[in-house]
Amino acid sequence: MRSEIKKLAHVESGDLQKRADTLLQDLGDQQRSIMTDLHHLSLADGAGDWREKEAKDLSDLVQNRITYLQNPADCSKARKLVCNINKGCGYGCQLHHVVYCFMIAYGTQRTLILESHNWRYSSGGWETVFKPVSDSCTDRSGASTGHWSGEANDRDVQVVELPIVDSLHPRPPYLPLAIPEDLADRLHRLHGDPSVWWVSQFVKYLIRPQAWLDKEIRDTTAKLGFKHPIIGVHVRRTDKVGTEAAFHPIEEYMQHVEDHYQMLGRRMHVDKKRVYLATDDPSLLQEAKTKYPDYEFISDNSISWSAGLHNRYTENSLRGVILDIHFLSQTNFLVCTFSSQVCRVAYEIMQTLHPDASANFHSLDDIYYFGGQNAHNQIAIYTHEPRGGDEIPLEPGDVIGVAGNHWDGYSKGINRKTGRTGLYPSYKVKEKIETVKYPTYPEADKLLNQ
């Protein structure tokens, strides 16, 4: 490829575009070949079977610990953390709010009490849609109650009320993107993004469906004809565009859909190129069908209508967003904008369905983040000398606070040693995963091993 790029300097201007397009096509083919080889290599010598078993063992361990925490022997004496679901935002944001509460409950060894009556989506509360977070302890009463003032300061308070993460002070160490120290080695071996895996385990516990919802998911799967292979596309318009996110035409999404289908075609038989399209723009389905007749678009336009701002906080809208997230998480690959909570929740759930689905996405804007997270840092592994005024120097060992990935080979961040902010090559850094001494719940582990 180096020699082919050198030749471009001698190509006549009239032929330059054609030669450049051919070179890009060849590069794409070579990249797909390498990625396919890596995929098969990851399954060689029983590695795939080991991953399946290790992923199940780790998830079972965490789910058992959460269940143990949430069902104390005597609820009247249990230490409790109270979380009110009614944060002033949408479903994905509220779910992440409860995940944040759950992580702190798990870290401080307090049973989570979820207050959800008069939930803006369903007046009957969380338990009318999902299974209760506890089978035996839902009463928030206790000998003493207080507002969060820090784990050490609250040690003698039986019932602690937790604010939204924006108002949390002091901040405990249990916030994302940190992972438990006792699981860190296993997670690093298993998963490409341990922080997302850890978040996903709390999401997994929280969204266990009630029987009616489980039936609704099965019925809708059959009605839509949802089957694999299929790529998920989530297009958020309405309230996000112009405030939290830029407008992205359907062509931007479909470019990455086509790229991934070319990759999938090397691993499996692709009988039809299917796309599950989730959007709050009801006109987009017809536009996509018209522009891409070679694809089969699977979508429920009634969900798109229910996702509009005038319908958003209703039980029908809640059903729609839950179904969209479910089907997006079930796809082979996800193309979306990580500025959307819906997309990030789908990506988190995807991690619970595979040993490692950390690379099964393309975001058109943000990198993965969790609202209210602690600093996201990377560590430089190679030296970098700036080649322009917008780049920053790196030395091995430098800690970089990452602000975002430009998806062009460069990321933006601040070198915490020099204080300089700018661009740097993404391949010259690695993630700095923070570990925290979470409680290890040995009594729960004993029960699992019996």
441: nearest Cα among 65, 134, 151, 77? 65
pLDDT per residue over 297-330, tens digit each?
Answer: 999 988 877 655 555 678 889 999 999 999 999 9
pLDDT value, residue 17: 85
Q: Which tokens sit at 333?
A: 């690959």
pTM assigned to the model: 0.93
Rounded distance, CA 415 to CA 398, Å?
7
Q: Give the model's confidence band at 16: pLDDT under 50 very low, under 70 low, under 90 confident, else very high.
A: confident
Q: Give the model's confidence band at 43: pLDDT under 50 very low, under 70 low, under 90 confident, else very high.
A: confident
For residues 1-28, give the mean pLDDT.
80
Phi-psi region of 230 (alpha: psi -120 to 50; beta: other; left: phi over 0): beta
At residue 144, φ and ψ (nearest 5 deg) are -145, 145
pLDDT at position 13 over 90: no
Going across the sheet that includes 429-431, the strands are 421-425, 410-415, 399-405, 377-380, 429-431
Phi-psi region of 118 (alpha: psi -120 to 50; beta: other; left: phi over 0): left
Q: Is the CB of residue 83 less than 8 Å from the CB of residue 114? A: yes
pLDDT value, residue 307: 58
pLDDT value, residue 14: 78
pLDDT at position 239 over 70: no
Compute the mean pLDDT over every residue in the chain, rounded to the nearest whole number: 93
For residues 177-206, give the mean pLDDT.
98
162-183 b/e (C-beta count within 10 Å ≥ 16 → b): bebbeebeeebebbbbbbbeeb
pLDDT value, residue 241: 57
Rounded distance, CA 243 to CA 203, Å?
27
For residues 423-443, give the mean pLDDT.
97
pLDDT at position 53 over 80: yes
